Amino acid sequence: MIKGKKLVVIMPAYNAESTLEKVYKELNFNIVDDVILTDDFSSDQTLKLASELGIKHLRRHDQNLGYGANQKTCYHLAKEIGADIIIMVHPDYQYTPKLVEAMASIIANNIYPVVLGSRILGKGAIKGGMPIYKYLANRILTLIQNILMNQKLSEYHTGLRAFSIEALNDICYENNSDDFIFDNEMLAQILYKGHQIGEVTCPTSYFPEASSINLSRSIKYGFGVLRVSFQYFLGKLGVYVPKIFRAPTA
C-alpha cells in the first residue's frame, strides 16, 4: 500500500512471454499490493509464465478481443479486488516499471487523480528509438488535441498510465472502442469530467519484442484521435454529447 491506499498494477498482455518476467521483477512490491494480467488470446506461453511468476489474478480471453477490450477486463478485475490506485504497465517492457512508485505517490498524495508517463517530456522518445514518423504524428496530433480540448498535455498516446479509483468510477469506459483508440477515448472522458492530469518524464524502448502497431493501423488510429477530439469539442459546446461522454448508468 501507499498512504493507506491499495495499489494494483494491471498488465494487458498479448504475446509477452519474452519480456514479462523482466517487467514483473522490476515492480516494487513494498508498495504494489496486487498484479492483474489479462491475456488477449496469446499464441505463446504468456499466461503459463505469469502463473509461474506468482501472479494471482489472471484472466484469458477465449478469442482475441483487442487492446481496448483487454484493458476493460483489467479495470473490472481491479475494481473487484478493491483497488484504490490502478497503474497500467505494459508487459512488453516498452515503459519502465520503475516509475510506478513516483506515479502512485502523486495520486496517493492527492496531487493529481490521473498521471501519465510522457515519452515526449525530455528526449525519451527519440532516444528510445521511436520511429520518426510516429514521433511527428504524436506531436501533430497532440497539438490538435490540446487546441480542441483546451489542454496542455505533452502527449495523449502513452501506455503508462495511473488512475485513482474515483476518476475511474467517474467515466463509462465500457462505451469505448475495443481497439487502440480506447486509450485516447479514456483520457478524453477523464478531461471531460473535469479531472486534471499530471505527467512524469518516461524513457521508452523500441525493440522487436515491444508491441507496436503498423503504419496502416497507425493511420486509422490517427483519424480516430481526431474524431474523439472533435467529439469532445462539440460536447463542450453543447452541440452534441457523444455516448462516451455520457454519465455512467447505475
Max CA separation in the chain (angstroms): 52
Q: Count the Cβ atoms, other than its own, within 10 Å of residue 198.
A: 16
Low-confidence ranges of the chain (pLDDT < 70): 124, 207-213, 248-250
96 Cβ neighbours under 8 A, 6+ residues apart: 26, 202, 203
Which pLDDT score is estimated for 130? Answer: 79
Which pLDDT score is estimated for 83? Answer: 98
List pLDDT tens digits, range 171-205: 999 999 999 999 999 999 999 999 999 999 998 87
67 Cβ neighbours under 8 A, 6+ residues apart: 12, 14, 40, 178, 179, 180, 182, 183
Q: How far apart are CA 205 and CA 211, in angstroms?
A: 10
For the chain, the distance separating the N- and C-terminal CA atoms, rounded to the nearest angstrom, is 29
Contact 34, 112 (CB under 8 A): no
Which pLDDT score is estimated for 77? Answer: 98
Which pLDDT score is estimated for 134? Answer: 84
Which pLDDT score is estimated for 153? Answer: 97
Which pLDDT score is estimated for 112? Answer: 98
pTM: predicted TM-score of the whole model, two decimal places: 0.93
